[in-house]
Amino acid sequence: MNVIRRISERLKKHMLIFIAIPLILGVAGWLMPAVHGSSTYQASATVQLGKYWNYDLNTPEPVIQLLSNGPFYQKNLPDLWNSQQQNLLSHINVTSLKGNLVQVTYTGVSKTEAADTANRIANAFLKNDQEQYQKRMALTDQSIQAVTQSKTNESSAVDKQRFLYQLGSDKIKMKPAELLEAAQPGVIKGTSSFTPKKRAVLGVVLGITLIFVWVAFPEFVREREGRR
């Protein structure tokens, strides 16, 4: 009880100071210039996957796997990989959207970097896809030419025409991947700066903590001296 009484008396004696300290620190926190931390930005490029019966490049799941691992960047974007290596993958997020779409999102330290890098990744994939698409088209053309030039008799003529029709239909349906939406300068993802309100609250909390130490510390010292 004596401890509580002494603390109460100390509070009453210095009441104005105890009220002023949190208010002063709160106002100081509000008026203090903001110290901005590092911000990050995100930008996304959207790719429409192709259709030419290549599971690895025409299906979202394997494409996501491809663009989320190092070998793709080592082969297709070596300068980007060499500058960041494993850290590069932590800045990339590849997701699937409805309609056989894949979205490549890159997180960078500036708006321009985020957009440029997302577009570079998308374009590298499109280049790789175009190469495989051209190979498939060439193979289809060779098949059509071979069937067209093949000799048939009356019994196999119908099968030949049916096969040519199927090959022609497949060729018409084939299409490469395309960039549906290029990445634009990124939106801010996060920053470590404190708002004026947060700084003011922090100042008030700090003031209350100082008051508590001021009031309670003498009792702590008194108790230790009493034990000697």
Is 192's pLDDT higher than 50?
Answer: no
Out of 29-33, 84-88, 224-228, the most confident range is 84-88
pLDDT band at 8 (very low <50, low <70, confident <90, very high): confident
Percent of the chain with pLDDT over 90: 46
Mean pLDDT over residues 188-198, rounded?
A: 62
Q: Is there a single domain that holds both residue 7 and residue 65?
A: no
SS3 string of the chain? CHHHHHHHHHHHHCHHHHHHHHHHHHHHHHHCCCCCCCCEEEEEEEEECCECCCHHHHCHHHHHHHHCCHHHHHHHCHHHHHHHCHHHHHCEEEEEECCCEEEEEEEECCHHHHHHHHHHHHHHHHHHHHHHHHHHHHHHHHHHHHHHHCCCCHHHHHHHHHHHHHHHHHHHHCECCEEEECCCCCEEEECCCCCHHHHHHHHHHHHHHHHHHHHHHHHHHHHHHHHC
Is 127's pLDDT higher than 50?
Answer: yes
Q: What dihedral do alpha carbons 63, 68, 72, 74 form, nearest 10°?
A: 180
Q: Is there a single domain that holds both residue 96 and residue 186?
A: yes
How many structural domains compose the chain? 2
Q: Is there a single domain that holds both residue 70 and residue 160?
A: yes
Residues 6+ apart with CB under 8 A from 53: 136, 170, 174
- Specify the range with the lowest mean pLDDT, choosing from 10-14, 96-100, 111-115, 180-184: 10-14
pLDDT of residue 17: 73
Is 171's pLDDT higher than 70?
Answer: yes
Q: Is there a single domain that holds both residue 160 and residue 86?
A: yes
Mean pLDDT over residues 90-102, rounded?
A: 96
Task: Return the higher-pLDDT residue of 105 and 36.
Answer: 105
Q: Is there a single domain that holds both residue 26 and residue 121?
A: no
Task: Give me the helix-helix angle, 111-149 and 60-67, nearest 10°.
Answer: 130
pLDDT of residue 224: 62
> Phi-psi category of 159—alpha, beta or left, where left has phi over 0 and alpha has psi -120 to 50?
alpha
pLDDT of residue 187: 65
Q: Is there a single domain that holds both residue 87 and residue 157?
A: yes
pLDDT of residue 194: 58
**Averaged confidence pLDDT in the chain:** 83
pLDDT of residue 227: 59
Q: Is there a single domain that holds both residue 7 and residue 60?
A: no
User: For the chain, what's the residue count?
Assistant: 228
Report pLDDT digits (tens) over 141-170: 898 888 888 887 776 777 778 878 888 888
Task: Return the higher-pLDDT residue of 124 and 147.
Answer: 124
Report pLDDT digits (tens) over 34-86: 555 557 899 999 999 999 999 999 999 999 999 999 999 999 999 999 998 77
Is 25's pLDDT higher than 60?
Answer: yes
Residue 57: CB atoms within 10 A of its CB come to 21
Mean pLDDT over residues 207-225, rounded?
A: 68
Q: Is there a single domain that holds both residue 212 and residue 123?
A: no
Q: Is there a single domain that holds both residue 173 and residue 93?
A: yes
Are 94 and 67 spatial neighbours (Cβ–Cβ below 8 Å)? yes
Q: Is there a single domain that holds both residue 105 and residue 169?
A: yes
Q: Is there a single domain that holds both residue 93 and residue 56?
A: yes
- Domain of residue 6, residue span: 2-35+194-227
Q: Is there a single domain that holds both residue 110 and residue 210?
A: no
